[in-house]
Structures are given as structure tokens and as C-alpha cells.
Structure 1
Amino acid sequence: MSRPSTYDAIVIGAGPAGSSVALTLARHGWSVAIVEKGAFPRRKVCGEYISASNLVLLDRLEIGDAWRMNAGPEIRRVGFFSGETCVEAPMPDAKYLPSAKDAFGRALGRDVLDALLLQAAQSAGAAILQPCRAVAIDRDGDMQKVRIQARENSGDETTALWAPVIVAAHGSWEPGPLPSQFEKISRPSDLLGFKAHFTGSSLAPDLMPLLAFPGGYGGMVLADHGRLSISCCIRRDMLARLRRNRSSGHDGSKQDGPTQDGPTHDGNVSAAEAVFRHLMASCRGVSDALDGARLDGRWLAAGPIRPGIRACYEQDIFRVGNAAGESHPIIAEGISMALQSGWLLARELAGASSGRAGREAAGRRYQAAWRGLFSTRVYAAAAIARVALGPAGPALMAGAIRNFPQALTLGAHMSGKTRSVPGLT
């Protein structure tokens, strides 16, 4: 049976933002298509932690029970690892949630989470076009035409889909031909993301430490199936310096690096190896936690990240997730913002009047709701990241947190980890 070519909405990207908006619209009776370039399950550069504030939303999306069954342990403490400093403090709990057992967040690998969400969207009636890439969006009267190309198609053959509503859920890190995607610009100050899983780590299961090191920051958390998820961002110029030093043998680090490399190489030194050795040499807490641990799969790399607030509705395209706006990953709120932005948009679209004027009004309401819910955490993350990335940033942060560990609890609260999602509580 052939697929229809006209829908009420076409969602480009099947991550947490895209799948959440698609399945919510489908449950409101919309005909929805999701265009996803990758095959699932697939891993992503992501910290993988989900705040407790999302658990009511996960239940509304009907994956809450599956998430609880698969996710890692409750994160009851937030920590800070930098140099020889290892400090911890209580994680604030979300006391407003209906169940006390859901008062703390947990981590779940994106290979598991994204598959759960996409399956739920499909069960709700959304059409899944995967692996397919959207290569063009053009106005066609009151509709928009999206041209898609199957990933296995090496030629120029495309298929056309039509819908009045287009949702850009493709993230912000990859440039492309769509009007909602961003120009590729390379700067020395760019932050590049790295992520890996390890098994056999000794990190306390209820602890999620922030990592601060010269030229970057990161985090660690125990996720599903005993996997430790470690992710970080590092400045492009610092990474280039580390690789040059490693290639010439001048960095002096002695730790054994991962046996599998990242996607780029410089002589015999991979980007992933340089980043991993830098982490191990710069944070005693990391080297202690990973002493004897085993790399599970390959290191992943992506970026540059693009923190900031963008237009949520522009040129008749709605943006969700990182495409709409992005906080520095230093506050570990990326998945929360993706899920919640998808919910906010679906709520506005489902109640919108028909026609372009109705869509524009929904776009204005959605943008106001997005900024009301997320702008504080975007600005707070930018301020924290600015300190962390400064020349003396890790040392300044270490000194302050040693003297005032409660700053970790306060920072977790300010980052939105205890804030309820509008319309759900």
C-alpha cells in the first residue's frame, strides 16, 4: 500500500523533540509524517540525563513505564570534578510530582529513548519515513512541499510530500539545504561535542558530576544497563593544541586511552583519544571513576554546538528542540528542553484555528511559551559556561564550590530541573 503524500504536519527529525510533537499531534487526530535521516536504534552525542520534571510528560506520551523500566538509577546528588577537587551536594527534588518515587531524574541512552518515542509516535498513527533525508522545502500555495530522498538512493531522485505545517526538529549542529538549517561556520572558539559509554566504572550510581577542565566542560552519569555515559564539550582551538602536543609527545599524560577513535584524525592521534586523555589528566574524579572501565562502542563527535535563543516560527516553519534554541550542555537540560518544546508546540497547534493566520497566531503563542519556560536556563547556562571556559575558569569554580558546595544544588534548581511543564500539573 502506497503512502499518502499530503499530511496535516511533516516533522523533520525523530529525536525527542520531533517524536514528542508528532505523537501528540497524532493523538489529536492530525495526520503526521516524520522524516528521519538515520536508522534506529542509533547513538547520539548527548548527556542522556532526564530531569524529574519530565516524568509527568513521559507518562502523557505513554512511555513513562518503559522509561522507568529501562533508565539508570535515580540521581540524588550533583557533583563537581576538576583537577584534584571532587565535591558533591544534594540534587533538589521535584516535590510537586504526584509520586515521591519520581522526585529525581535518571539517565537513559538515546539509542533506547529515541526508539521508545518513535515507536509511540508510530502507534499513535504517525507515518515514519526512515531513513530519509529532507532536501528542500518550498512554498506551494497554502501548503509547503518537502522533497525527501531515501538514504540508500545515491542519485538525485526525490519524493514530494505536502503539508501546511512543517516542524523543524533536525537539531542545530548539522548544516544543510533547508531554510531552517544553519550555515556552516568554523571558529577557533567553537565547542565540539564528544560522548562515550563505559562499562565497569566506579562512579557512585546516584551521583552526576559536572566536569571542568582547561578549554571545556562535561558531565558523567550512570545510565541504563550499567553503562556510564560521559559527554563533554571542548573548544576547537584547545582540541587542535592537544592533538599537536599528543602527536609530538609533549603532553606528558600517562593514561591509557580508548581503543576506538573518533571520526577525525591528525597523524596517529585521534580527536577522541586527545579529548579522553585530557579528561583523565585534568580531572582526578574522572580517572578514578574510569580506572579499569571498558569502552562500550565507539566515541562519538558532533558540533559545533550553537547555544542561544532563535526564532520559534519563521517562514512558515516551526522549530523545536535545538533548532528553536539551545542551552550550553553544562546544565544537562538538552533532552528536557527537547521533550518540553515538542509538547508546547503540539499544544498550541492542536488548538489553533485553520489557515495561515491561525498558524501564525499559534507560532506567536508558542514562542512566548518557549521563552517563558526556557530563557532563564539558557541565560544561566551561558553564564556558567562563560566562567568554565575562561582561562582560570576551572580553578575559580573549584575554589568557589569547595567553599560553598550548596552552589551545586542551587545551580541544579536554577537550570530548571524542578520546574513543572505547563499544562501537565
Structure 2
Amino acid sequence: MRPASTHDAIVIGAGPAGTSAALALIRRGWAVAIVERNVFPRRKVCGEYISASNLALLERLEIGDAWRAEAGPEIRRVGLFSGDTSVEAPMPRSGPAAGNGFGRALGRDVLDSLLLNAARSAGAEVFQPCRATAIERDGACQAVRIQAGAANSRDEAAILRAPVIVAAHGSWEPGPLPSHFAKKSHPSDLLGFKAHFSGSTLPPDLMPLLTFPGGYGGMVLADHGRMSLSCCIRRDVLARLRGSHARERGSQISAAETIEHHIVARCRGAREALAQAHLDSPWLAAGPIRPGIRPGYAADIFRVGNAAGESHPIIAEGISMALQSGWLLAMELSEAASGQRGREAAGRRYEAAWRELFSTRIHAADAIARLAVGTGGAALMEAVVRNFPRALTLGARLSGKTKPVPGLTEARPAGGG
């Protein structure tokens, strides 16, 4: 085993939450290691929309210009495609404190590479592809055992040491670390799917919410003309649909084919947007989704992104919450007193700041998702939106799409040490 190397913080996971935390800490003079098990670029189940509330944060992280150069068109309208109903309304514009503008979409294969490259250039020591297999107390620090290569790799292991561990590994997959979560399957689980399409006729400035029996989804035009379609569907509904198709055709079809057929058959707006489109890359699947708020700190392990808390993707705020949670944590850690007590106090402040910024949108997303998936809920949503289209604008505002990120105006200039 290679000798241990010591850092100020070790970030496990190089998605938007982990790299946001790493970049913000490095800008404040911290020595940071990032452990990422996947090779980039990588595709990932995600809605890919980045709200306008993040514009000022992207500038602070010094990736604003690169993001603007790569991302898709500004999303100036929000819509609802449900059954035969297609309604749209203006997307609220962010104010000066949030960056003045509209959100845009960027594929995770592009975004994650952009963020990780920025962190590496800023000074992060990146271990990729490497898996964190254990975390153990080691005096004043914690020791993270990492293993290079794939899960069955016999490559040499190494030890990284740091007083602070940032768990940015998400919540969808179980693992051996104390920050991972146990998984149990339930018929009501929501499973996530995502695919890119080329040749879609979806208006470039429109992001519609899709509702269909047993699930919901969204469409948005991302980078390079790719239309991103992401969705969730109940496990039991998907199983019934697959069984029905198998009986009708005499053979089983994939879960992805089933969900695509289901959306096209039950949602006219999606059907029209996909009429001339073709699949750009294979469907991805993930989950189950576990919305809710979880402990943000325990024993010098700080959770960010989905590991800290997860919203129903119906409000398209996953990337926003990831980026912003990493920033919130870095602010609290950079101001923490030294030693265990200082980190514990920072953990309590971080949890409070996290809840203040995100709890309302998590609860609102839960209510909207239950309505969309529940019996008769989609019809009720259609009726409300048809008679009051501005409900879509109001919902976008309540979901946090224009809410400024705390601490940006008070923070020291990027690179201030």
C-alpha cells in the first residue's frame, strides 16, 4: 500500500456538488483531494437544466465564461405537456443578486468535465478512476482508503488523510462508507430515465413539465442541439406496462423502450416534439429516487448534493441544489475555528443554512410530484394551468429558480486566498 498523503479536505465524488465545494475551498487556500470512481466524460441520469440562480455562483467559481460557451439556449418559457394539454408561461428572470438572466441546460457529460477540469487547474489533486472503500479515524484526521480502477481491480490501494471529508457521492447507489445509505425496493419507488435526442421540434426557449400515468418528466434543449428528456416512473407501473407490451407483442421490450412508448402515447406535446427526432445515445436508468432531507454532518463527514438531501426532479433543481450546497459548505468550513469543536459548529451552521435555502423547495416538489403521480392529480394540474397559466411562472419562482445564493456578495473575491 502506498504511503498516506494529507490534505485539508477530501471530496468523494466529482459531480457538481463535490467540485463546487472543492473549487470554493481551493479559492480559500485549502489543499483538496477529489476521489471519483468514473472516467469522464460520463453520462448521467439528470434533467441537465441549470437555473438562473446559479449564474453569479458560476462566475464566483470562475467557470461562467466556459459555461456560457457550452450551454444550450436561454430558457425563457416554462410549460406543461399533459395528455392533450399544452400550456406555456414566462420563466421568471433572475435579479441582479442572482446574476441577471435565464437558466440554460448543459449535458452532464460536458458539465462534470468542465467543473472537474476547473478544480484540477485550480490545484485539486484528482484521483480518478478511484473508489473510496473505507473511512476510519486516524488521530486528528480521518483516513480514506482508495482503490484505483474498477470494482474488481487489483491495483494498489492508497490512503488519503484529512480532517474534513466531503461526501458528494449522491444517494442512488449503496456503498461501504458511513455516508452511504442502505437501499430497499418498494413498488412505489420512482425510477429515473434519461436520453438525448437530435432533431426535436421542441422550441429552444421552452422547458415543459410532462405528466403521464404513473410518472412525470421534463424536456429541454441542451448543448449542441441535443434535446434532453428525463423522467421518473413508479416501479409497479413500469412493471405492468412491460408485462402488457410482452403479452401484446409476444416478447419483452426494455424498460427504456417501454417508458418512451408510454410517454409518446399519453402526452401529445412530447409526441409532437419527438415526431422527427431520433435517439442520440442509449437511454440511461438510475434510482430509485429517495427525496428528503438527511443529516448534513456527522463525525467530520459533511454531505453535499443528493447525499445531503434530494428533491423530486419535477422542479428541475437538482444541479442547482448540488452546486449551491457545495458552496454553502465551503463558506462554513472556511470560517470554522480549528479543531473538532470548530468543525462541529460549522456542521451545525451548514445544516441550518442548507435547510433555510432548500427545505421549502423540497417540500413543494414533494407536493407537486404526489399530485402529478396520484390518481386524478394530473387532470387537476391540467385544469389549474389551463385556467391560470401563470401558475407555471409562480411555480418556477417558488422552486428557487431566481433565489440568490447566500454569501456571494459578502465573499472575498475568487482567488483571494
Stretches of structure 2 lacking an aligned partner (at least 5 in a row): 410-417
Q: After TM superposition, which residue ranges in structure 1, 4 or more long, deviate above 4 angstroms?
A: none
Q: Per-residue displacement from partner, 1:156-183 (whole Å, max 9, x unpaired)? A: 8522111110000000001111110110
2:48 is matched with: 48
Distance 1:4 1:149 in 2: 13
The range that moved more, 393-402 or 129-138, is 393-402
Q: TM-score w.r.t. structure 2 length? A: 0.95
1:215–1:234: 8 Å Cα contact kept in structure 2? yes
2:200 is matched with: 201
Trace 1:9-88 onto structure 2 (pairs within 5 A). 9-88=9-88
- Is the partner of 2:374 in helix, strand or coil? coil
Q: Per-residue displacement from partner, 1:286-305 (whole Å, max 9, x unpaired)? A: 01000110111110000001
Q: TM-score w.r.t. structure 1 length? A: 0.93
What is the deviation of 1:70? 0.8
1:73–1:223: 8 Å Cα contact kept in structure 2? yes
Q: Per-residue displacement from partner, 1:343-380 (whole Å, max 9, x unpaired)? A: 00001111111110010010011111100100100010
2:244 is matched with: 245
Distance 1:337 1:125 in 2: 24
Identify which of 343, 360, 374 aligns with 1:376. Answer: 360
1:263 is matched with: none
Trace 1:74-223 onto structure 2 (pairs within 5 A). 74-97=74-97, 102-152=100-150, 154-155=153-154, 157-223=156-222
User: Is 1:282 the counterpart of 2:281 in the alignment?
Assistant: no
Distance 1:8 1:220, change over 3 A: same
Q: Per-residue displacement from partner, 1:225-274 (whole Å, max 9, x unpaired)? A: 00000000100001111110111117xxxxxxxxxxxxxxx963101000
2:54–2:98: 8 Å Cα contact kept in structure 1? no
2:256 is matched with: 272
What is the deviation of 1:141? 2.0
- Is the partner of 1:304 in helix, strand or coil? strand
Q: Per-residue displacement from partner, 1:150-208 (whole Å, max 9, x unpaired)? A: 12462385221111100000000011111101101100011100000001000000000
Root-mean-square deviation (CA, aligned residues, Å) is: 1.5
2:52–2:98: 8 Å Cα contact kept in structure 1? no
Distance 1:248 1:96 in 2: 57
User: Is 1:313 the counterpart of 2:313 in the alignment?
Assistant: no
What is the deviation of 1:393? 1.7
Distance 2:222 2:266 in 1: 23
What is the deviation of 1:48? 0.4
- Is the partner of 1:338 in helix, strand or coil? helix
1:97–1:103: 8 Å Cα contact kept in structure 2? no
- Number of aligned residues: 407
Distance 2:63 2:317 in 1: 19
Distance 1:357 1:166 in 2: 15
What is the deviation of 1:97? 4.5
What is the deviation of 1:9? 0.6
- Once the two structures are aligned, what percentage of the paired residues are identical? 72
Distance 2:95 2:25 in 1: 29
User: Is 1:417 the counterpart of 2:401 in the alignment?
Assistant: yes
Distance 2:350 2:97 in 1: 24
